[in-house]
Amino acid sequence: MTVKPSAVPNHKRKTLLPYLLILPTFVFVALFTAWPTLLAIYESFFRQRLNIARFREPTFIGLQNYATLFTDDRFHQVVNNTLIYALGTVPVSIVLGFLFALLVNRSLKGIGWARLAFFHPALLPMVSAATVWKFFFTPDYGLFNSTIRFLGYHGAENWTGNPSLALLAIMLVAMWKNSGYYMLFYLAGLQNLPTDVYEAAALDGANGWQTLWRITFPLLRRTTVFISTIAFIDAFRTVDHIFVLTSGGPSRASTVLLYYLWQLRFENQDIGLSAALTVLFVAVLLVFTITNFIVSERAEEN
């Protein structure tokens, strides 16, 4: 039995095809994710300050950069701000996104306009959203203070200049912008749920709350895990509105980790310390993502 000459090349092409398909993604991840991460780990063991002549050349100092971060009061304040920001914006944004999805998951006339209204903030760049909200927060003629004066209270709050309100101000912008984005995922999940389960629940006499708690929530568990993961990561990486509204102030009251990283790298030009903070930053997000999926998988098995 003879083998056709073209049979071997076809077999080889079929074997190489999967590797060729993943090659662009592999190259992209290697160049823009793996290599920068490895480089940051390497640089975190060196002291290098580009704006100080005697520290421009890298000097190996081991774990000194990490020790400097963990003993720095400014770093402690930034971590505290970041936790407050993440724990404040992520749950509220997810709950609002779910409620918005429930509201617009109906076959009503004009419901498309309602969906567009809820989703529209997600289409705006964060800089544009912050510019809109800057008008709201303006002390003299801003919408918030004008409303307060209309209600009879004559004190004017400096929303972005008050250390007690600056972090809250940037959290409001993030919640306003992200809720509609998360709504889109929940809406897609709601529209793909099996209708026969709800029909059986209605025949069994389940009320709206029981249906929501015992059927809708469990069926949307994977959607919630996905949304909570991207929401947590987004809470750590979004800083555009901080540049526009507060510049991290006053007195670092609204400085979060990524903004502090930018200050270390581009304002202080501290290569080693910024690299150490980058490594910690990546490690926190990686641990959270893995833990979130493991907990979700175990819940699915149970």
For 263-300, the pLDDT digits (tens) are 999 998 999 999 999 999 999 888 888 887 787 777 66
Residue 95 structure tokens: 């709950």
Query: Looking at the predicted structure, is the pLDDT value of residue 91 above 80?
Result: yes
pLDDT of residue 10: 64
pLDDT of residue 12: 62
Helix (H, G, I), strand (E, B) or coil at 134: helix
pLDDT of residue 93: 95
Q: Domain extents for the chain?
A: 73-301
| Burial of residue 32 (number of CB atoms within 10 Å: 0-12, 13-18, 19+) | exposed
What is the architecture, at CATH level 2, of domain 73-301? Orthogonal Bundle (1.10)
pLDDT (mean) for 216-241: 88
Band (pLDDT 50/70/90 cuts) for residue 106 is confident
Lowest mean pLDDT among 208-212, 243-247, 249-253: 208-212
pLDDT (mean) for 118-125: 89
What's the whole-model pTM score? 0.85
| Burial of residue 104 (number of CB atoms within 10 Å: 0-12, 13-18, 19+) | buried
What is the C-alpha radius of gyration for the chain, rounded to an integer number of angstroms? Answer: 25
Band (pLDDT 50/70/90 cuts) for residue 45 is very high
Band (pLDDT 50/70/90 cuts) for residue 97 is very high
Residue 23 structure tokens: 């090659």
- Kind and range of the H or E run holding 12: helix 7-29
Query: Looking at the predicted structure, is the pLDDT value of residue 235 above 80?
Result: yes
pLDDT (mean) for 172-187: 93
Tell which wins on pLDDT, 237 or 89.
89
